[in-house]
């Protein structure tokens, strides 16, 4: 890889790829992905992308729904920006080749999901993310200025710290010069210098045992930025998707899109009775935090591990056309949605918090931008509205591109940056210790920092996490970095941030629900 770049993009989901396509018109771009290039949360997105398309929907309604879901903790200016810019950015996805489904009259088939007061979700069947990634990759592959390096793992971003200058969280002059990147095949750690680093590393679902996120979602970008002293916020707001398919032993948990409820499916208990109206007048289509908490409560009342989604009264011909992936998955497990209820259970799904950025995607570290799920723009507040995530990613990749390209000519590549210092480290004695530590983090977070929390549970969580933290830091000091070790370290960092932010919030709001502060 050219180790001197104008733009180093860490991450190949919708955020990183859409940024790269634009930035490549202004300079050299390197994209690194830690796994196969197409393995990202984006590739698993089902329901679609929200955007006001035509009347009777309106910008005001989408803004109101986003604020309502976010319990008013959203940044209103950002909500307005994202909702207003949605159509232009979605049109760009279409120009790059994304095919969104249309109805018989040739208009876009706009779906509905929880918390939306109108039909405004553009989708490609129930595999919207896969289709977006297909289109973006085919555009990227034609671009001579973009180099993609898959199976390259970013360990840390480079700052003054690596030049031997002490920096603290209070310093405002921290800047980044690039990143140390592990080539997983050669095991070398490269120094990649760049004028701008664009963090597009996605979420952190792997902090929990049950998650819809694929293995890549270990919160690396948030942890790297936090270690580099960037401001991080809203980490207590971990979104659990209400309806992942209950299929113990499978990983990741297969999602049964909220759009299925938008299509008319209803949640039922073990006796076949609807229960959501007890909790919210919007029933099965209430915002996610409410539905996930209600399912959790019902599972506890009934002493069971799952609830049901009833699709049996739906038009199956249309259901199969819209949700072929979900239909096929259910059938493969012997569940026929036409006749059987689908067993569902909440699963960790989305990280609302992350690296704090301004309206141009700029973090508190000079030269570091954050876009997509790893960023905290203020759009989501205490709970993300369904299908606002893909939207946020493309709006902010555009804004970050505008800002970064405006100032790129004034920026220089840093000199005198040292190579990675591997002295005093050796290969790990037993990988199983690392694997086990990761499982323990997931166990702590699932037992004590899930959908329902309390001060006591959070105290227990932090005490147990501290032991793991010490063990893994000790291991890290003496071991040559491997992806697994770095990811485990990052997950411990993420868990710490979630617990710390949760402990500081003395109220129940949105996705943070505490027994000590419930009404």
Catalytic residues: 288
Per DSSP bridges, beta strands 266-268 and 307-310 are: antiparallel
Angle of the 431-448 helix axis to the 483-504 helix axis, nearest 10: 20
Nearer to ligand FAD, 347 or 458 (CB): 347
Residue 170, class by beta-carbon neighbours within 10 Å (0-12 exposed, 13-18 middle, 19+ buried)?
exposed
| Contact assessment for residue 264 and residue 314, using Cβ atoms and an 8 Å cutoff | yes
List phi, psi (to 5°) of 369. -105, 150
Which positions from 106 through 125 interact with ligand FAD, judged by CB under 6 A? none
**257 scored as a contact of ligand SIN (CB under 6 A):** yes
Distance CA 482, CA 489 (A): 11
Say whether residue 363 binds ligand SIN (CB under 6 A): no
383 vs 438, beta carbon nearer ligand SIN:
383
State which of residues 21, 122, 216, 385 lies at the interface with ligand FAD (CB under 6 A): 216
Q: Reduce the DSSP state of residue 121 to 3 states and report it.
A: strand
For residues 237 and 350, which CB has a smaller minimum distance to ligand FAD in the complex? 350
Q: Confirm if 310 and 341 have CB atoms less than 8 A apart.
A: yes
Ranges within 369-388 binding ligand FAD (CB under 6 A): 372-373, 387-388
8 A C-beta contact, residue 387 and residue 269: no
Among 9, 12, 130, 208, binds ligand FAD (CB under 6 A): 12
Provide, rounded to whole angstroms, the least separation between the CB of residue 471 and ligand FAD: 21
Measure the N-to-C terminal CA separation of the chain; round to a whole number of Å: 56
Write down the least CB distance from residue 79 to ligand SIN, Å. 16
User: What is the footprint of ligand SIN within residues 138-177 (CB under 6 A)?
Assistant: none
Per the CB < 8 A criterion, the answer to whether 372 and 363 are in contact is no
47 binds ligand FAD (CB under 6 A): yes
Instruction: Please identify, using beta-carbon distances, which residue of 52 and 154 lies nearer to ligand SIN.
Output: 52
Residues 341/312, Cβ–Cβ less than 8 Å? yes
Three-state SS annotation for 36-97: CCCCCHHHHCCCCEECCCCCCCCHHHHHHHHHHHCCCCCCHHHHHHHHHHHHHHHHHHHHCC
Choosing from 109, 131, 236, 258, the residue that interacts with ligand SIN (CB under 6 A) is 258
Q: Is 153 in the site for ligand FAD (CB under 6 A)?
A: yes
Separation between Cα atoms, residue 233 and residue 353, nearest integer Å: 5
Among 5, 8, 9, 10, binds ligand FAD (CB under 6 A): 10
Selected binder of ligand FAD within 22, 28, 33, 237 (CB under 6 A): 33
- Binder of residue 310, out of ligand FAD, ligand SIN, none (CB less than 5 to 8 A by kind): none
State which of positions 33-62 bind ligand SIN (CB under 6 A).
46-47
Q: How far is the CB of 206 from ligand FAD (least distance, A)?
A: 11
Contact partner, 314, from ligand SIN, ligand FAD, none, Cβ < 5-8 Å per class = none
Interacting partner of 40 out of ligand SIN, ligand FAD, none (Cβ under 5 to 8 A depending on kind): ligand FAD
Q: Is residue 138 exposed (0-12), middle (13-18) or buried (19+ Cβ within 10 Å)?
A: exposed
Q: List CB contacts of 326: < 8 A, sequence separation 6 or more.
A: 46, 126, 256, 257, 260, 337
CB distance 41 to 214 below 8 Å: yes
Count of CB atoms situated within 10 Å of the CB of 361? 29
Q: Which is nearer to ligand FAD, 374 or 475 (CB)?
A: 374
Q: Which of 262, 250, 259, 242 is nearest to 308 (CA)?
A: 242
Min dist CB 271 to ligand FAD, Å, is 29
Residue 387 beta carbon to ligand SIN: minimum distance, rounded to whole angstroms: 4
CB of 244 to ligand FAD, least distance (A): 8
Interaction partner, residue 154 (ligand FAD, ligand SIN, none; CB < 5-8 Å by kind)? ligand FAD
Q: How many CB atoms lie within 10 A of CB 308?
A: 22
Q: Which of 8, 45, 71, 394 binds ligand FAD (CB under 6 A)?
A: 45
Residues within window 317-356 making contact with ligand SIN, judged by CB under 6 A: none
Among 88, 163, 100, CA closest to 132 = 100
H or E element at residue 30? strand 29-33
Stretch that binds ligand FAD, among 19-27, 82-90, 215-223, 457-465 (CB under 6 A): 215-223
Number of residues that bind ligand FAD (CB under 6 A): 42
Establish if 40 lies at the interface with ligand FAD (CB under 6 A): yes
Q: How far is the CB of 44 from ligand SIN (least distance, A)?
A: 9
What is the smallest separation between the CB atom of 262 and ligand SIN, expressed in angstroms? Answer: 9
| Residue 12 touches which of ligand FAD, ligand SIN, none (Cβ within 5-8 Å per kind) | ligand FAD
Is residue 15 at the binding interface for ligand FAD, with CB under 6 A as the rule? yes
Sign of CA dihedral 225, 226, 232, 236: positive
Task: List residues near ligand FAD by CB under 6 A.
Answer: 10-16, 32-35, 40-42, 44-49, 128-129, 153-154, 200-203, 212-213, 216, 220-221, 255, 350, 372-373, 387-390, 393
Task: List residues near ligand SIN by CB under 6 A.
Answer: 46-47, 255, 257-259, 386-387, 389
């Amino acid at each position: 890889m050219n180790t001197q770049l104008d733009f180093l993009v860490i991450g190949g989901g919708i955020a990183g790829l859409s940024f790269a396509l634009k930035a490549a018109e202004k300079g050299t771009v390197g994209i690194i992905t830690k796994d196969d290039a197409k393995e990202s949360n984006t590739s698993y997105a089902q329901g679609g992308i929200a955007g006001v398309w035509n009347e009777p929907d309106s910008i005001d309604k989408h803004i109101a729904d986003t604020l309502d879901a976010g319990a008013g903790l959203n940044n209103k200016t950002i909500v307005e920006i994202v909702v207003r810019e949605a159509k232009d950015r979605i049109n760009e996805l279409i120009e790059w080749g994304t095919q969104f489904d249309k109805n018989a009259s040739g208009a876009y088939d706009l779906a509905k999901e929880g918390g939306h007061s109108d039909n405004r979700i553009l989708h490609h069947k129930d595999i919207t993310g896969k289709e977006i990634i297909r289109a973006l990759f085919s555009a990227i592959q034609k671009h001579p200025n973009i180099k993609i390096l898959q199976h390259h793992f970013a360990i840390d971003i480079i700052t003054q710290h690596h030049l031997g200058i002490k920096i603290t969280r209070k310093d405002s002059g921290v800047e980044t010069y690039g990143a140390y990147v592990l080539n997983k095949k050669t095991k070398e750690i490269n120094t990649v210098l760049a004028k701008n680093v664009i963090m597009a590393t996605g979420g952190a679902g792997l902090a929990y045992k049950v998650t819809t996120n694929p293995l890549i979602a270990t919160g690396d970008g948030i942890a790297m930025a936090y270690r580099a002293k960037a401001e991080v916020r809203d980490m207590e707001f971990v979104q659990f998707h209400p309806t992942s398919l209950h299929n113990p032993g499978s990983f990741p948990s297969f999602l049964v899109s909220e759009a299925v409820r938008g299509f008319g499916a209803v949640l039922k208990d073990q006796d076949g009775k609807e229960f959501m109206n007890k909790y919210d007048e919007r029933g099965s289509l209430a915002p996610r935090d409410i539905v996930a908490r209600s399912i959790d409560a019902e599972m506890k009342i009934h002493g069971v591990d799952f609830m049901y989604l009833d699709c049996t009264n739906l038009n199956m011909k249309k259901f199969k056309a819209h949700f072929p992936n979900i239909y096929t998955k259910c059938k493969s497990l012997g569940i026929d949605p036409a006749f059987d209820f689908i067993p569902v259970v909440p699963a960790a799904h989305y990280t609302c918090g992350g690296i704090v950025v301004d309206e141009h995607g700029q973090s508190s570290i000079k030269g570091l931008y954050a876009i997509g799920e790893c960023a905290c723009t203020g759009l989501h507040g205490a709970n993300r509205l369904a299908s606002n995530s893909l939207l946020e990613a493309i709006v902010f990749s555009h804004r970050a591109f505008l800002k970064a390209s405006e100032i790129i000519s004034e920026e220089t590549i840093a000199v005198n940056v040292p190579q990675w210092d591997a002295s005093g480290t050796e290969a790990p004695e037993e990988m199983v210790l690392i694997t086990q530590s990761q499982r323990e983090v997931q166990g702590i977070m699932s037992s004590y920092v899930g959908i329902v929390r309390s001060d006591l549970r959070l105290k227990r969580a932090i005490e147990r996490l501290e032991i793991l933290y010490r063990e893994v830091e000790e291991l890290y000091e003496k071991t040559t970095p491997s992806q697994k070790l770095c990811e485990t370290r990052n997950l411990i960092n993420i868990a710490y941030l979630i617990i710390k932010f949760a402990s500081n919030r003395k109220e129940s709001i949105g996705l943070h629900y505490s027994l000590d502060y419930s009404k």
